Chains A and B, each alone.
Chain A
Amino acid sequence: MAKSSYNPFATAQAQFDKVAEFLELDAATRELLRNPLREYAFAIPVRMDDGTTQVFRGFRVQHSDARGPSKGGIRFHPQETVDTVRALAMWMTWKCAVVDIPLGGGKGGVICDPHNLSAREQEQICRGWVRQLARDIGPLRDVPAPDVMTNAQHMLWMLDEFETIHGAHLPGVITGKPVGMGGSLGRTEATGYGVVFTVREALKELGVRPSDTTASVQGFGNVAQYAIQLYTQLGGKVVCVSYWDQSDQCSYSVRRLSGVDLAQLLGVTDRFGGIDKAKAKGLGYEILPGDAWLEQDVDILMPCALENQITGENVGKIAKRVKIIAEGANGPTTLDADKVLEERGIFLIPDFLANAGGVTCSYFEQVQSNMNYFWEKDEVLGKLDVKMTSAFHAVRELAKKRKIYMRDAAYVIAIGRVAQASKDRGWA
């Protein structure tokens, strides 16, 4: 029998079906939520630098706007398949719902390879995309954001085109804008802090003071650095951090049992989170193999680097002492490893709850843009704390009440909220 090829949308639907079964959703709601609400596909003709015209395919999938305007990235990708985009749009719906922000899920993009395009050509694609969808996106309808191969510059082009068409200042149509151009302060800290807000709450649940705990962190990028900062402020001690070494083309773990001094370590770190081994050694850090972070005798593990890091092969190396794993990265745990963690009763804070600080801050950016009033950083981070904390407890409560694994509980809550909103609206 020929194998059927991998289809991410089918996978996402299967996951939904599992939760729908658990929630005992009715057939209409299932039908509504297991497929996107709306899909747009259109052509974007672009005059190229050499004078020829090339036609690019653009699209946008709005999976659900039951709880608020759709929200999701725009990607430039040479061979995007609609199924991938559908899956990602659905995932955005759940992600917004789990932290209880009033936004739905969407995703879109253009089939192109920016490596083959000049900046001017990319600008034309961005503007063309907005022209085609000018009536179907907006601060109150659908809010795009940067994604694969797009960045703040693309967003500004799109914003400019949108505002030109509508003849108004409408910065809330897009998130991911630079500070001063409608962006929000606190964005760099948001994801890392969000991870630690949930860790803090988990420790409360376990009745452990943060100052009595130690942690090991995978990755030393933006998320990891701010997670370490806040966790240390709370009194915790990070003893091990892993990072990617560009010149050796492999990762290393940097360990100091007396605790990592973040400021000191940042002093020997490059922009990409690469630590200068020799200098770190001089500061009293041990240099260990890349996967040593996982094997540390600590209370908390925070994988904040890449997907598929905790696998069936290495899950056995996790120390007995480990109580909490907070997934700062997307999908750091493989399915088989996840089963082991569940069996061991480790307190897992699933990725789309733990790292939801980012999407929450995007929501704040949209709110600020809509009212054209921008908060100070403290205010942003304070509000983030409130959102993350209550989101955590909602998931935790459900997990306790229904005696289910945290990851499942997060899905159940998210899908439950969207289903409820759809029902309330009389859609199903």
Chain B
Amino acid sequence: MTEQGDNLGKLLYSLHERAKELNCLYRIEEVLSQPQLSTRAIFEKIVKVIPAGWQFPDMCQAGIVYENLTFRSDDWVDTPWTQSADIIVIDEYVGRVIVSYREEPPSGRDGVFLKEEERLIHSIADRLGHFIMHQRMKTLVQEYQAAAQEFERTRRGDWQVVLEMLRHTDRNLYLSISHKMLNHLCWAGVGEAEQLLASALPDQMSEQDERYGDTNRPYGRRAAGITEDMSREIFRLAATHLTDDEIFSRVQKWVQEDKLNYLINPLVSLNTPLPDVVDAIRRYHHIAPQDAELPSATSMNVRVALIRRFFTEQLRFINIAKSYIDVADYFDLLQNIIYSADSHGKLGGKSAGLFLAMQILLKDTTGGELLANLRVPKTWFVASDVTLSFIHYNNLNEVVEQKYKEINQIRLEYPHIVQTFKSSQFPPEIVKGLSVALDDFGDVPLIVRSSSLLEDRIGSAFSGKYKSLFLANQGTKQQRLTALEDAIAEVYASVFGPDPIEYRAERNLLDFHEEMGIMIQEVVGTRVGPYWLPAWAGVAFSRNEFRWSARIRREDGLIRLVPGLGTRAVDRTSDDYPVLVAPGQPNLRVNVSIEEVVRYAPRKIDVINLETNTFETVTVAELLHRHADDLPVLEQIVSVYDGGRLKRPLKGQIDPGRDDLVVTFEGLISNTAFVKQMQHILTTLETKMGQPVDIEFASDGKHFYLLQCRQQSSGAGAVAAPIPKDIPPERILFSAKRYVSNGFVPPITHIVYVDPQQYGQLADRSEMLAVGRAVGHLNKILPKRRFILMGPGRWGSRGDIKLGVSVTYSDINNTAMLVEIARQQGNYVPDLSFGTHFFQDLVEAQIRYLPLYPDDQGIEFNERFLTTAPNMLGKLLPDHAGLADVIRVIDVPACADGLVLNVLMNADLDEAVGVLGRAAAAAEAQESGFATDAPGQHADLFWRWRLSMAEQVAAAMDADRFGVKALYVFGSTKSGSAGPGSDIDLLVHFDGSERQRRDLLLWLEGWSLCLAEMNYQRTGYRSPGLLDVHIVTDDDIERRTSYAVKIGAITDPARPLSLGRRS
């Protein structure tokens, strides 16, 4: 056998061993979950199961010693090849598990037993310990309950009987109650009681006691040494000073309180490991009688403690959650938490948001039938500190230091980290948990979502920074388990990815520990052909930041709906569109004409392919063509395009082979309670949580599943900008007080202003069309997302283009913002379009829209600036110079002493203002949801670095060798607006031979590739080359053709670089 073959053999063998171990744990779990069996029967079964988990099951035997009982495999022989683990219940040894071999096995590297077997036996012992504790508790409670019943029966009778019984069943409780009675008597001023108390103390500290209140010194400790004799004395005193009824009710209360101490104590102490907390709640659930109400203060204390333990320390969250999440609500959740024995972890932000939202909705009574089909998909949680135990278990500790490295270093190392994580192992107890989870799920596809403690915190939009992975979850149990472990490891690795680290660094969150909760969620859906997908899914916002009609209010909300997995609704894609609905105004549609509806209908669909185990995007047409019959509620999803109209099909009347189907969700919106349900959910959550929310949802055609809920402002770029009231009037360019949405607009350097009056006076349709064409040209040459378009009436008018400039989306797709100006005309103000001609394109590209009503009262509109600032249209587009009266292109910094235009939008106030200021002001005022696009403190670095690199290139260039007369830089590098993905525009004034030209391009190509790699390491932006080289000749410069216009241009001219050697 070759060495390689040998290694492979070993690997396979060791994998096989792991599987056996898991199986063993698994079967033990099965035995323990049979409530009908007695403890004895259970232990007998377990000793039979254990040997199968060891390396040589045939000669392996197992035993359990528990108290005075011993359970053993048949034909037990004592041998020296043995290992054991103690069973501990609440720090107390109660027995042990023993495994041994009947004859000497071949010994391996670790001795007779494998390291893994050592861990396995401990896992088994731990599990048995918990089991025994649980059993004991149950017995105890049964006794309590019997006692309580006895109490009831003897209510008017003798409380001594009760005490006597307590003395026999639970001596500790008996003594503790005695002590409490003693205290009670003392407080009641019974002198004998005080003496009795004093006698119980080892030292007399009464003098100190006198001084309480005037010193910071602690009181002396009172060691309570109550004996049974004293108890009798105490109750004798009680009998003389208190009525029977009073004693009885006191005793009853203390017994009750004691019953809950096991719940309260572990919670109040932050040191209690998660398993103990979980056990406490489990016990509470099993044993607390339905009517065992916690006193309300205690109840609140426990609720808050639980929220802290499982979810978050955030006061705001706690404050809301404590009113909605009961102790009992945790029970189902707890069944599904995976954690290590000493875990102190939490479940993370995503889990918290979803759990709270669901509790709010379940406890809501106003919705009636609307919420009847509301569900949460089956979910398992991995506690956040499992991240750390995973890291420790695999000796990956140094990875935590990753975040303090240089970002390019992090980026370079990240792929290796991912690989290392994926080839690392999970601690056995976690594997055990995952295995149980997988059995619970069966083979439905799963999504592994990060639920970071940083995620969804107020003020930081962590959404999407960490990974979420889909798993088809097909194949053998082992394959599925491996895939699940892989996915979790990958999500863990994403904590150390460059983007999240950079994002954290920017927000001073770097020192926050790296724990991350995991949610393993069933993917809602049904099987359709080889695919798994929900009938529909999407996201919904309680506040609508993209209103397409003046009749839609912000609080009417917005739903983005897609067929299949919701990924296409969450992400924005340029070539596909979700269906948009405002739940408060479901009848006002974005797309009205048939052409619009069809054009903006979803055309692709995300699915999980169960056969190839992959996440895929397929076209709707293809899916419908092949598998329409499998799709649930098809008639709610599609309309039939027929003879120029869209018909809502009747159920069962769709012929996918023949009908032209368009995804419109018309049936769902018009024929079902979906929209009402959605509106109810959004308003309920917003009201109860006290802030706008967004949710993710999906449906399998039967039920409505809530997948996620978080505060809406954490979404991309939707933070309301503060609008300062002390802006000097001369700085204000325009203001708006109608139909304002939230949204970030980057600092604006150029304004394209189509003068409404001049445009209205154009005498010729072809001139109006020319205005549209000129705008299209400007859109191509002005710096992307750094200019705004302002124009009369309705941008994108067709037909009657007097109403607004005739442009298509491609003519405006680089603008940062589209402004429509409604000037009073005679006695009416024209309707604006709200961007409806290309509304969905604007939404997907996050181009903001703002309507201006300059003639409204209290509105600023600095027409003077717009009409008198130097117009560079003629210089930029000589062909269109004739339109200079109509189109004004303003270089803002050039006309306003270097200031830029900042547009601040605040939907909460329904106010927006365009103000001249420094670029940084806007960045401070508004935080973009996109870290990399944000003009934050790093923004400067991008262009500075590019400029310095361009200077380097120039300095290194042998101008004579390449026939270069001059070299310029222009575009975003020169204008200081370069982002992390921008290229460097170089303009070469060339005057050489063809050969020199080839050499030059080759030489620059080398630079380009190097710079691209450097840029990638700095920013994570990949590009095939960083230099965008434009060559111009003397001829070009003379004729001012192509890029030659940039040399000495009026606006944004190219900047010359000093060239290197010139012999």
Q: Which residues of A contact B (CB under 8 A)?
A: 2-6, 8, 11, 49, 75, 77-81, 84, 113-121, 146, 148-149, 151-153, 156, 176-181, 183, 187, 246-247, 249-250, 270-272, 308, 334-335
Cα(A3)–Cα(B763), bound, Å: 7
| Contact indicator per residue, chain B 745-775, by CB within 8 Å of chain A (1) or not (0) | 0000000000000001111111111000000
The answer on a CB contact under 8 Å between B644 and A119 is no
Interface assignment of B590: CB less than 8 Å from any CB of chain A? yes
Q: What are 29 A-B pairs at a CB distance below 8 A?
A: A2-B761, A5-B760, A6-B767, A49-B587, A75-B799, A78-B803, A79-B794, A81-B802, A84-B800, A113-B549, A115-B549, A115-B592, A115-B833, A115-B834, A117-B592, A119-B587, A121-B587, A149-B592, A151-B644, A151-B645, A152-B644, A178-B642, A178-B643, A179-B642, A187-B643, A247-B574, A247-B575, A270-B603, A271-B598
The answer on a CB contact under 8 Å between B794 and A78 is yes
The 3 residue pairs across chains A and B that have the minimum distance between CB atoms: A118-B587, A178-B643, A249-B810
User: Least Cβ distance of B850 to chain A in Å?
Assistant: 17
Q: CB-CB < 8 A to A79: which residues of B?
A: 793-794, 800, 803, 830-831
Q: Which residue of B lies closest to A115 (CB)?
A: B836
The answer on a CB contact under 8 Å between B763 and A4 is yes
Q: CB-CB < 8 A to B768: which residues of A?
A: 6
User: Least Cβ distance of A395 to chain B in Å?
Assistant: 25
User: Least Cβ distance of B746 to chain A in Å?
Assistant: 21
Cα(A81)–Cα(B768), bound, Å: 16
Interface assignment of B216: CB less than 8 Å from any CB of chain A? no
Cα(A63)–Cα(B796), bound, Å: 29
Cα(A78)–Cα(B798), bound, Å: 12
Known A3-B761, A78-B794; contact A334-B766, beta-carbon cutoff 8 A: yes
User: Least Cβ distance of B671 to chain A in Å?
Assistant: 13
The answer on a CB contact under 8 Å between B800 and A153 is no
Q: Which residue of A lies closest to B800 (CB)?
A: A84
User: Least Cβ distance of B553 to chain A in Å?
Assistant: 11
Beyond contacts A118-B587, A152-B645, A156-B645: 18 other A-B pairs, Cβ-Cβ < 8 A, are A3-B761, A3-B763, A6-B765, A75-B799, A77-B799, A77-B800, A78-B833, A79-B831, A84-B799, A115-B833, A119-B587, A148-B798, A179-B642, A181-B643, A247-B574, A270-B603, A308-B769, A334-B766
The answer on a CB contact under 8 Å between B802 and A6 is yes
Within 8 A of A (CB), among B945-1001: none
The answer on a CB contact under 8 Å between B644 and A176 is yes
Cα(A49)–Cα(B552), bound, Å: 13
Q: CB-CB < 8 A to A119: which residues of B?
A: 587, 589
Known A78-B831, A178-B643, A179-B643; contact A250-B603, beta-carbon cutoff 8 A: no
Cα(A11)–Cα(B834), bound, Å: 30
Q: Which residue of A lies closest to B836 (CB)?
A: A115
Q: CB-CB < 8 A to B594: which residues of A?
A: 151-152
User: Least Cβ distance of B623 to chain A in Å?
Assistant: 15
Q: Most chain-A Cβ atoms within 10 A of its Cβ — which of B642, B765, B800, B803?
A: B800
**Which one of A8, A81, A183 contacts B643 once the chains associate, using CB atoms below 8 Å?**
A183
The answer on a CB contact under 8 Å between B593 and A149 is yes
Q: Which residue of B lies closest to A111 (CB)?
A: B831
Within 8 A of A (CB), among B557-605: 574-575, 585, 587-590, 592-594, 598-599, 603
The answer on a CB contact under 8 Å between A117 and B588 is yes
Q: CB-CB < 8 A to B593: which residues of A?
A: 114, 149, 151
Q: CB-CB < 8 A to A115: which residues of B?
A: 548-549, 588-590, 592, 833-834, 836
Interface assignment of B550: CB less than 8 Å from any CB of chain A? yes
User: Least Cβ distance of A27 to chain B in Å?
Assistant: 27
Interface assignment of B109: CB less than 8 Å from any CB of chain A? no
Cα(A11)–Cα(B767), bound, Å: 14
User: Least Cβ distance of A381 to chain B in Å?
Assistant: 17
Cα(A113)–Cα(B796), bound, Å: 14
Within 8 A of A (CB), among B795-840: 798-800, 802-803, 809-810, 813, 830-831, 833-834, 836
Cα(A117)–Cα(B599), bound, Å: 20
Cα(A118)–Cα(B585), bound, Å: 9
Cα(A119)–Cα(B810), bound, Å: 30
Cα(A11)–Cα(B799), bound, Å: 15
**Which one of B575, B761, B766, B813 contacts A308 once the chains associate, using CB atoms below 8 Å?**
B766
Q: CB-CB < 8 A to B836: which residues of A?
A: 113, 115
| Contact indicator per residue, chain B 849-866, by CB within 8 Å of chain A (1) or not (0) | 000000000000000000
Cα(A237)–Cα(B813), bound, Å: 37
Cα(A4)–Cα(B589), bound, Å: 38
Q: CB-CB < 8 A to B592: which residues of A?
A: 114-115, 117, 149
Q: Which residue of B lies closest to A8 (CB)?
A: B765
The answer on a CB contact under 8 Å between B643 and A6 is no
Q: CB-CB < 8 A to B660: which residues of A?
A: 271
| Contact indicator per residue, chain B 530-554, by CB within 8 Å of chain A (1) or not (0) | 0000000000000000001111000
Cα(A270)–Cα(B809), bound, Å: 19
The answer on a CB contact under 8 Å between B762 and A5 is yes
Cα(A149)–Cα(B798), bound, Å: 11
Q: Which residue of B lies closest to A114 (CB)?
A: B592
Cα(A180)–Cα(B640), bound, Å: 15
User: Least Cβ distance of B213 to chain A in Å?
Assistant: 67
Q: CB-CB < 8 A to B765: which residues of A?
A: 6, 8, 11
Cα(A2)–Cα(B763), bound, Å: 10
Q: Most chain-B Cβ atoms within 10 A of its Cβ — which of A151, A178, A335?
A: A151
Cα(A75)–Cα(B809), bound, Å: 23
Q: CB-CB < 8 A to B803: which residues of A?
A: 78-79
Cα(A16)–Cα(B802), bound, Å: 22
Q: Most chain-A Cβ atoms within 10 A of its Cβ — which of B587, B599, B643, B760?
A: B643
User: Least Cβ distance of A242 to chain B in Å?
Assistant: 15
Cα(A118)–Cα(B589), bound, Å: 7
User: Least Cβ distance of B961 to chain A in Å?
Assistant: 35
| Contact indicator per residue, chain B 217-259, by CB within 8 Å of chain A (1) or not (0) | 0000000000000000000000000000000000000000000
Cα(A230)–Cα(B802), bound, Å: 38
Q: Which residue of B lies closest to A308 (CB)?
A: B769
The answer on a CB contact under 8 Å between A5 and B763 is yes
Cα(A85)–Cα(B833), bound, Å: 20
Q: CB-CB < 8 A to B763: which residues of A?
A: 3-6
Q: Which residue of A lies closest to B885 (CB)?
A: A3
Q: Which residue of B lies closest to A4 (CB)?
A: B763
Cα(A161)–Cα(B1017), bound, Å: 68
Q: Most chain-A Cβ atoms within 10 A of its Cβ — which of B575, B644, B803?
A: B644
The answer on a CB contact under 8 Å between B762 and A6 is yes
Q: CB-CB < 8 A to B762: which residues of A?
A: 3, 5-6
Q: CB-CB < 8 A to A2: which residues of B?
A: 761
Cα(A115)–Cα(B582), bound, Å: 13
Cα(A335)–Cα(B764), bound, Å: 12
Q: Which residue of B lies closest to A334 (CB)?
A: B766
The answer on a CB contact under 8 Å between B588 and A249 is no
User: Least Cβ distance of B449 to chain A in Å?
Assistant: 29
Q: CB-CB < 8 A to A246: which residues of B?
A: 575
Cα(A149)–Cα(B590), bound, Å: 13
Known A6-B762, A272-B599; contact A80-B588, beta-carbon cutoff 8 A: no
Q: CB-CB < 8 A to B585: which residues of A?
A: 118
Q: CB-CB < 8 A to B831: which residues of A?
A: 78-79, 113, 116
Q: CB-CB < 8 A to B599: which residues of A?
A: 272
Known A183-B643, A308-B769; contact A148-B761, beta-carbon cutoff 8 A: no
The answer on a CB contact under 8 Å between A120 and B761 is no
Q: CB-CB < 8 A to B575: which residues of A?
A: 246-247
Q: CB-CB < 8 A to A4: which residues of B?
A: 761, 763
Cα(A148)–Cα(B803), bound, Å: 14
User: Least Cβ distance of A289 to chain B in Å?
Assistant: 14
Cα(A326)–Cα(B727), bound, Å: 60
User: Least Cβ distance of A321 to chain B in Å?
Assistant: 29
Q: CB-CB < 8 A to A156: which residues of B?
A: 645
Q: Most chain-B Cβ atoms within 10 A of its Cβ — which of A2, A49, A183, A246?
A: A246
Q: CB-CB < 8 A to A3: which residues of B?
A: 761-763
Cα(A115)–Cα(B660), bound, Å: 25
Q: Most chain-A Cβ atoms within 10 A of its Cβ — which of B585, B599, B831?
A: B831
